[in-house]
Amino acid sequence: LLAQDTYLVNGELKKWAGQMTPVYSTISSTEKYEPTLLGTIPFMGEADAMEALEAASSAYNNGQGLWPTMKVVDRIKCMEKFVAQMKTTRTEVVKFLMWEIGKSLGDSEKEFDRTVEYIYDTIEHYKQLDRNSGHFTKSQGVNAMIRRGPLGVVLCLGPYNYPLNETFSLLIPALIMGNTVIFKPAKHGVLLISPLLEAFRSSFPKGVINVLYGRGREVASPIMKSGKVDILALIGNSKSAIALQDQHPNKNRLRLVLGLEAKNPAIILPDADLDLAIQECITGTLSFNGQRCTALKVLYVHESIAAEFNKRFAAKVDELVFGNPWDKSVSLTPLPEKEKPAYIQELIDDATSKGAKVINAKGGEISDNFIFPAVLFPINKEMRVYHEEQFGPVVPILTFKDIQEPLNDMAESNYGQQVSLFGKDIKTIAPLIDTLVNLVCRVNLNSSCQRGPDLYPFTGRKDSAVGTLSIFDALRSFSIRTFVASKDN
């Protein structure tokens, strides 16, 4: 049992003396998956949020603070010190990734290692960006020394499904560009930050990074209402992003870096390699129980192959094994959000009451904090599962006759992150790609949707994202181009 009663404000690891919130784990060492008390975390409020804001604002000091004015080489040294210390916490952080959010051992290790690699790659790109933007250039008799500078104070809120990797894909570029940060981890995935607090404290000047815990409305809202935040960096749902954005008294001044919802489709053409398409759709829809913004959330199968695809896909889903994250034979793990099984059940009930069937034998079996993935067919637009981002183990399937049908649906959708396209004939695929890239931001050929490699842009159209992540783009998202001009005399 871990009491995570330490938080970080103004370069000080403080002990919390107030009310603690229990944190339950969804995994269990017994047969019965009852939530077990894993630890406790501080339940902070407005006064604590204001203290962190004050620390971040003073450290930035309108661009005149130690951190925003620090030489690039010295900022890099701080980041290198941080990542070296972070590496020593691997065993502990990985353990908490499994316990807190039910991520498999392999995926938890991958998340940690990917984050370390992300930090090193960011440092390399930062050096490159600095070299390139530091050059003199000349136009119409004006010499310019162009540089990239920070924007100010960042409020950083990460998601529960990648509490380390995705959160750090906001935090690290924000910091290295010279901004100061207030970071509040997601509700699930708080304890895993505790081994990193000392690394933050000892690597960065005071007030540059502040770590707080608590509910959004009690901690994030007062910070936004102060009007002192320059960047809202959030990965989560649009509702929270809009609510927070609206609380800022001067929205025009606020820069947004948002990774939001998606409803990524897979389109399976008549000539697709079915073995490959089925395997990729299994991973795409159900890895980490479908709790990924990049998960495939609706499958469009050409009517000529639908019977075969559905039969084989449903059988493969039923072969998936549920259990604890540390068991290597397992691919489905308990769901950290206790409301999720009931929500998925609602989607299933709604779809079946409107004509869909659960086509896999085990689909919808509920036990405590787990629901076995349900494959639903045929889906129509009257059903909630067609519109809502399920973020969990339910797979809706539709058929199409003409390729224009899924394209029209994608054009009408509120989302526009990625698509997977399965087929062989290049003459069909090539013109389709030209249309698809205008509907989403990444087209995956004969493979499922995903975020990485982290060097590639990660963004979305419409309600899926604002600003672009990836190592290269994130450095730009968290900075502004400035220049010093001089004329030839």
- Positions touching ligand G3H (CB under 6 A) are 161-162, 166, 292-294, 450-452
Closest CB 288 distance from ligand G3H, rounded Å: 7
Choose between 179 and 294: whose C-beta lies nearer to ligand G3H: 294
Closest CB 22 distance from ligand G3H, rounded Å: 26
* Torsion 380-383-384-385 (CA) sign: negative
CA distance 157 to 227: 17
List all residues 6 or more positions away from 481 whose beta carbon is below 8 Å from its beta carbon. Answer: 133, 146, 147, 148, 149
CA distance 197 to 89: 11
In this structure, what token pair is assigned to residue 2? 């871990």
CA distance 292 to 162: 8
Choose between 153 and 296: whose C-beta lies nearer to ligand G3H: 296
Cis peptide before 406 (omega within 30 of 0): no
Closest CB 166 distance from ligand G3H, rounded Å: 5
Closest CB 465 distance from ligand G3H, rounded Å: 10
Strands 366-367 and 370-371: antiparallel
Closest CB 336 distance from ligand G3H, rounded Å: 13
Using CB atoms within 10 Å of the CB of residue 144, give its burial: 0 to 12 exposed, 13 to 18 middle, 19+ buried.
middle
The candidate with the shortest Cα–Cα distance to 312, out of 284, 276, 288, is: 276
Choose between 42 and 393: whose C-beta lies nearer to ligand G3H: 393
Closest CB 469 distance from ligand G3H, rounded Å: 8
Choose between 148 and 451: whose C-beta lies nearer to ligand G3H: 451
Closest CB 283 distance from ligand G3H, rounded Å: 10
CA dihedral 132, 454, 159, 422 (to 10 degrees): 140
Question: Using alpha carbons only, what angle is made at residue 450 by residues 444 and 454, rounded to the nearest 5 degrees?
Answer: 110
Closest CB 175 distance from ligand G3H, rounded Å: 20
In this structure, what token pair is assigned to residue 34? 């009852």
Choose between 369 and 450: whose C-beta lies nearer to ligand G3H: 450
CA distance 419 to 150: 34
Choose between 258 and 293: whose C-beta lies nearer to ligand G3H: 293
Element (H, E) at 255: strand 255-259
**Number of other residues whose CB lies within 10 A of the CB of residue 83:** 19
Q: 306-319 vs 274-286: helix axis angle to the nearest 10?
A: 50
Closest CB 148 distance from ligand G3H, rounded Å: 25
Choose between 126 and 288: whose C-beta lies nearer to ligand G3H: 288
Are 107 and 288 in contact, with CB atoms under 8 Å apart? yes
CA distance 465 to 473: 13
- DSSP state letter for 337: S
Choose between 63 and 452: whose C-beta lies nearer to ligand G3H: 452
Closest CB 481 distance from ligand G3H, rounded Å: 27
Using CB atoms within 10 Å of the CB of residue 479, give its burial: 0 to 12 exposed, 13 to 18 middle, 19+ buried.
buried
Choose between 89 and 161: whose C-beta lies nearer to ligand G3H: 161
Closest CB 458 distance from ligand G3H, rounded Å: 7
In this structure, what token pair is assigned to residue 76? 């890099």
Choose between 229 and 299: whose C-beta lies nearer to ligand G3H: 299
- Rg (C-alpha) for the chain, rounded Å, is 24
Choose between 122 and 450: whose C-beta lies nearer to ligand G3H: 450
CA distance 328 to 321: 10
